[in-house]
Structure 1
Amino acid sequence: MAEKSIQWFKFASPARFYDLTGRLVWGFGILAAVLFVVGLYMGFVLAPPDYQQGNSYRIIFIHVPSAWMAMFLYVVMAIYAAVGLIWRIKTAEIMAKAIAPTGALMAFLALWTGAVWGKPTWGAFWVWDARLTSSLILFFMYLGFIALHAAIEDRQRAANASAVLALVGIINVPIIYFSVHWWNTLHQGATIKATSAPSMAAIMFFTVIVMVFAYWMYSIAAVLARARLELLEREKHAAWVSERLNLPRTKETPHA
């Protein structure tokens, strides 16, 4: 059991992490592109209009996956931040920092598409609904995490402060999810539940699932690509960076 743990922890090494992620970025990126093409074709060509909302409902194929990913990525970011805070694992700190911009993008897409959907449905682009307000707070938490990293020059202090913020903000994720049950909100409840059949046509359901996987693959590819760049910046004087990039060694580059 100990040997297996060592095998997993070896990927925390910056050089091994860089090598592994380099093989994964392209694969996840290609999968994301294929799934986006398939999902958008299913959603905007094959899926029929909704009997109540007509064609305006199609925004859910962008809105729902982005909202799910915004919450999921925040939890993953907080976990990585906690690992970096507690065990001082550099790659965990880098992953937390790399996730934040993608999570912020997903939160923004969820808010923007929600506003587009809300205008024909509620008659307004924005209402101070519990689900919408807590989602806006999530977006601001992402921005705060990014801002802390940018504002504090010392990387370790920046990582520690950002980790604390991420862990405090994680309480907002279940609030977003359960807000439609805890308060009387305009936002509709979940149409896809693990405990019951989805309350939508099969083609609509499978389109949402395809788009969720597309967003997931994209997020993994984007985060890993950003993490690799951050790692190169932090380790630019390390010998393994010169070896991987075929750079000539300088006197300032320490030997491994």
Structure 2
Amino acid sequence: MTITKRNLIKVRRVPDLLVFATLSPIMFVLLFRYVFGGAIQLPSGITYAEFLLPGIFAQTVVFGSVLTGASLAEDQQKGLIDRFRSLPMSRAAVLVGRTLADVTMNIVTITVMMLTGLAVGWRIHTSVGEALLGVLLLLLFSFAISWVMAFVGLNVRTPEVVNNASFIVIFPLTFIANTFVPTDNFPAVLQTFSDWNPVSALVQACRELFGNTTPGLSTPDSWALQHPVAYVLLWVVLLLVVFMPLAVRSFQRVVSR
């Protein structure tokens, strides 16, 4: 909790981090809602704003995880990790504190995104409990992805490398998905990838939990999108089981140099 507090104080002292983390998704909302929305045909019963916002939420938490890796790379570059090494503390504390701080930032970002969505026509049509479950699912997925980025950040030397390496993976995950458009017209290979893409399942789960679906909006036959909540939770468990120990081991290797 001390490391979490330290990272949140840093955000308060460098508010640009939070400002630009929220401005980017707001830009995506306005761009897709008003520039591309009119060209995308959806069945009656759902507006493009309601179709779009769950995708923007998912994209935002995935993109936000890059901050975890970049911050750890920066701490390593500036020698802060070496200072932590001299303290009587758990080796996992630096990583847990960093990922929890980023989850806290995602809560703020998602709140801003929801307010923006309400302004452009997005609405929640389910109960408060289902809506909160949708937010919780977004935060769980962001927490799991943050551990992947933590592993990356500890194995490169500069924040710039983290950004470049991460976006090579993140862009296909967020764009070859049902994030912004229905996948009916995707080529067969891309449609199969999209159907089993965990980001697609996260988006589908949020659409269902927020009530942003309609019977006319087709859902692929893949098990992943027929049971999106379960599929996302499986990915959360898998990523944490694999990357938490890998990240802690990488941290131990870094501090033992």
TM-score, normalised to structure 2, is 0.30
TM-score, normalised to structure 1, is 0.30
